Each structure stands twice: as C-alpha cells, then as structure tokens.
Chain A
C-alpha cells in the first residue's frame, strides 16, 4: 500500500519536472508523432506498389505496425529511467542517493521518471488498430482481444526486463547504454509480421528476443485464428514472468557488485 502511494507521489514529482520544459515537451511529442507518421507513410507508399506483402494486405500490415507500438509505448511510459542508468548515472556516480533510501533501488528507478511521451504512441497505436481493424472486417472474438491485451501488457514487461537486466550491467562496466541500445533496436523487426522474415530471424524473434511472440503471434490469432488465444496468453505471461524474475535477479546481483566497489 505504501509503495502504491509512494509511486503516485513520485510520478507527480516527475510530471512537475517535466512541466518545467513545456516547449521542449510539446515539440518533441509533435516530432514524435510526425516521425511515426513518416514511417507509416513510407510503408503505405511501398504497399501501394504491390498487391500484398506475402499475403498481408496494407490494412493488415498497418494493424501489425499499430499493435507493435503498444508494448513499446507501455514500456516507454514506465521505465525510461533505465536508459539513464545505462548511459550516464552510474558512470557519473549519481546513484548513491538511491542506495541511501529505505526503498528498493529498482523501485526508485521506476518511480523516478514517468514518460508521458508514451501516451502519444498509445494513442497512435490504438487509432491505427481501430482504423485498420475496421477496414479488415475481422470477426472480433473475446479470446483474440484478450490475447492482444495480454500481448501488449506482458510484452511491455518483457521489454522492460531486457532494459533492467542490460542497464544493471552498468554497475559492473560503468556504462552499458550501447549494449542496451543494440538489443532494444531489435524492436524494428517487431513492426512487421514475422512471416516476411527468413527462418533464422523468425527463430530469434520467438525464442531469443521474443518480440514476435507477443506481437506477431497475437495479431495472427486475431486475423487468422492461428493459435489458441488462451494457451498463447498463458505462454506470454509465463515467459514474461520468467524474464522479469531473471532481470530483477541480475539487477540485484549487479547492484551488490556496485555496493562493494563504489564508483
């Protein structure tokens, strides 16, 4: 209970800091929307030249793109501080004050920044899903909606787990931003149906960096009923819990290393 209240107090603090830079926020949200529009525009311009992309119509590809934004956006909302941990804060020795508070450091990282830019992505993503979905005349089943929501929420947890684990390596190596960047950028593959990729890439996207698991497979379930939605949901939840547990474990181990070496 204390932590829930504390979280909201911290978030309010984070928003107050953000409001100090109103103009910058407005311009960055605008350019963010614009860059999504450009990426989407590019895809549609390409798709106009061909009948379908490996059997996927433009509306279906759009649906994929829109849906892929949701887990990425949810992660973006809550865990932006880990980027700073990976790139700067450990290197600058700017973590001590968190280790001096009677609260788990990892909780403090989540509470340190709430990134409202993520709402822009959520809105764009949902809008695209709705527009493309209406165009597709999909038969909406409860199971499909369920697995999409699970995919978005627990998919975000998987992305966050990668961020936690990789940023905590900074406690040992001082700076792990580049590594985090490399892994995170694999999300570009998540924007397309995995069916368009070669087998090796498909394998990676399901079993190693499971972006395909929580983006492609749920959408395939909605569009074609390829998988049992409840079984798939169960798998996604299971995988995300495993990832998150491992990530917090790695964080704890690395943070202990920090406590024994200082900065």
Chain B
C-alpha cells in the first residue's frame, strides 16, 4: 500500500482536472440528450417496421431492452472513458520531457494508471451516482428494466462495478498503446480519432455486437473491446447469468494482462527511438 501512495497526487490532480471541464460536460450532456433521442426515434422506427411489431425481439433485444441499452451505454461511456493518456504522451514526446520520467522513481505507466483511476473515481462519485440512480430509477420505474429479485440486481450491480473498473483500465491501456504509437507517427490527432472510432464500433457502443454478421460477431465477442462497453452494460441489465458474467470478466482480465505486457514491450522498444533521436 505504501508503495502506491506516491501515485496519490496523480489521482488527485486528474480528479480536479475533470471538474475544470464542467462547461464541456454541460455541452456534452445537451449534445448527448439529442443524440440519444435520435437513436431512440431510430430504434422505435426499426421495431415498428419489424415483422412482429414493437414487441418483437430482434437479435435477442426487445425494443424496451434496446432503449435501456442505449441509455446505459451512454452513461457508461461518459463515466468510464475519460483519459488524456494519448495527449499527455504526445506532449511528453514533443517537449522531450519523457526522458525525465525514466529517471524519476515513478513508473511512467503507473502514473497514467493512477490518473485513469482518479478520473474514474471522481466521475463515478460526482456524476456516476446521480446519473445511474436517475437512469436506472426511471428505466425500472417505467418497466423497461424489469427487476425480478432485488438480491439478483444487487449481485449483478456488484459484478457491473468490477466490469466497469476493468473497462476503465482496458481503455487506459489501449490509449497508452496508441499514445506510444505517437513515437513513430507524431500524429496524435489522427491516432486519437482512429482509437475513438475503433473502440466505439467494436465495443458495441454504436450497436450491440449481437447485430454483427456471423463470423465477425464471433471474433468481436472475444476481443478486448467487448468488455469495454457492451459486456458491463449487459451485466447491469441482467442479460447474463452469473456464469456468463464471470466468463466475460475473466476474458477482460486476461486481455488486460496481455495488453499491459504488450504495452510494456512496445514502450521499451519505442523509447529507443527517442534516445537515438536525442529528444
């Protein structure tokens, strides 16, 4: 525990940064409400047009479940994906300050993990609690998210929290890997756009993975991205039984370890580029 204490300032700084962005957050909220409304209208039209009408199930989702899914993935993304890792790495490369971290007793990767956790905690406490409470309250209240047993819900919610933390860390390590690619391309804007696109599509944020065509679906299900948005939300919606919950959590955990190892390898190779260039 004491070893971890030196990372505390990074957790704090990152949490304060998030508050400074409250203006951006208000903007985000308004934009998002309109976008979610657009998606709801679209899904309404889709289900009204389907053969079985509004109550039919498409690829395992009823209309109500789909609305719950859209609302929860939106809240989930807002709370979980807040990291400037890529921009910070890019800045460190450009200003040549990355070398400083090789001397400090703090691990470069550790600093970012601490920041990710700081942002996640702060967002969860300030926005997560009210947003999830309001979102779930309304969805359960209007009967879109049926809760058969309270204990079942609480258990799933606990598993959801575990999956959320894993999603946050997965997002962090993927950002970190894209950040290291800045060593080679010095193209942060482009890489960030690429990262966002890949994650939002393959994590099921745009559309549940169940809608993807056969082979593609099978592949995407076992990629790390599924654990970053779709799986935590489906756990919260109680669409998975406990066995499936454990399975997807273990898959995420395995990917996290693999990706961290990969990032470590990539970083040690990339840093040579800097030392050769003398940056």
**Which positions in A face B, CB cutoff 8 Å?**
21, 23-32, 34-35, 38-39, 41-42, 45-46, 48-55, 177-178, 181-182, 185-186, 188-189, 192, 196-198, 201
| A35 and B198 alpha carbons, distance in the complex (Å) | 8
Check A30–B201 contact: CB distance below 8 A: no
Is the CB–CB distance between B49 and A185 below 8 Å? no
In the complex where A46-B207, A181-B31, A188-B35 touch, is A24 in contact with B185 (Cβ < 8 A)? Answer: yes
Q: A23-B185, A38-B197, A185-B34 are in contact. Are A53 and B190 (CB under 8 A)?
A: no
B50 in contact (CB, < 8 A):
yes
With the chains together, A188 CA to B36 CA distance in Å? 10
Contacting pair A182 B206 (CB below 8 A): no
The bracket for how many chain B residues form the interface is 35 or more
**Interface of B toward A, CB cutoff 8 Å:** 23-24, 26-27, 30-31, 34-35, 38, 41-42, 45-46, 48-51, 58-59, 185-191, 193-194, 196-198, 200-201, 206-207, 211-213
Instruction: Give Cα A48 to B217, complex, Å.
Output: 15
CA distance A34 to B194 in the complex (A): 8
- Nearest chain A residue, comparing its CB with the CB of B29: A182
> Contact between B193 and A38 (Cβ–Cβ < 8 Å)?
no
B187 near A178 with CB under 8 A, answer no
- Neighbouring B residues of A25 by C-beta, 8 Å: 190
Across chains A and B, the number of contacting residue pairs, with CB separation under 8 Å, is 107
Q: Which B-chain residue is minimally distant from A186 (CB atoms)? A: B34
Which residues from chain B contact A185 at a C-beta distance below 8 Å?
31, 34-35
Docked-complex contact B49 and A38, CB < 8 angstroms: no
Q: In the complex, what residues of A have CB within 8 A of residue B49's CB?
A: 50-55
Is the CB–CB distance between B191 and A27 below 8 Å?
A: yes
Q: Which residue of A lies closest to B30 (CB)?
A: A182
Interface pair B50/A31, CB less than 8 Å apart: no
A38 touching B206, Cβ below 8 Å: yes
A-B pairs with beta carbons under 8 Å apart, 10 shown: A27-B193, A31-B194, A45-B212, A46-B211, A50-B58, A181-B27, A185-B31, A185-B35, A188-B38, A189-B38
Instruction: Assess the A42–B207 pair: CB atoms within 8 A.
Output: yes
Cα-based distance from A46 to B50 in the complex (angstroms): 11
Q: Which residues of B contact A46 (CB under 8 A)?
A: 46, 207, 211
Known: A46-B207, A196-B45, A197-B41. A35 touches B190 (CB 8 A): no
Contact present for B45 and A178 (CB under 8 Å) = no
For B23, give its contact among A38, A54, A178 (CB under 8 Å).
A178
Name the A residues within 8 Å of B24 (CB-CB). 178
Q: Are A49 and B59 in contact (CB under 8 A)?
A: yes
Docked-complex contact A182 and B41, CB < 8 angstroms: no
A31-B42 in contact (CB<8A): no
**7 nearest A-B pairs in the assembled complex, by CB-CB distance:** A27-B190, A24-B187, A178-B27, A28-B190, A31-B194, A196-B45, A38-B201
When distances are taken between beta carbons in the complex, the residues of chain B under 8 Å from A38 are: 197, 200-201, 206
B41 and A45 within 8 A (CB): no
Question: In the complex the two chains form, is A54's CB within 8 Å of B45's CB?
Answer: yes
Contacting pair A28 B34 (CB below 8 A): no
Q: Closest CB of chain A to B119's CB: distance in Å?
A: 21
Task: Given A46-B207, A49-B59, verify A196-B190 contact (CB < 8 Å).
Answer: no
Question: Nearest CB to that of A39 among chain B residues?
Answer: B206
Additional A-B contacts beyond A32-B193, A54-B49, A197-B45 (10; CB < 8 A): A23-B186, A23-B187, A24-B188, A27-B191, A28-B187, A30-B194, A45-B211, A185-B35, A186-B34, A196-B42
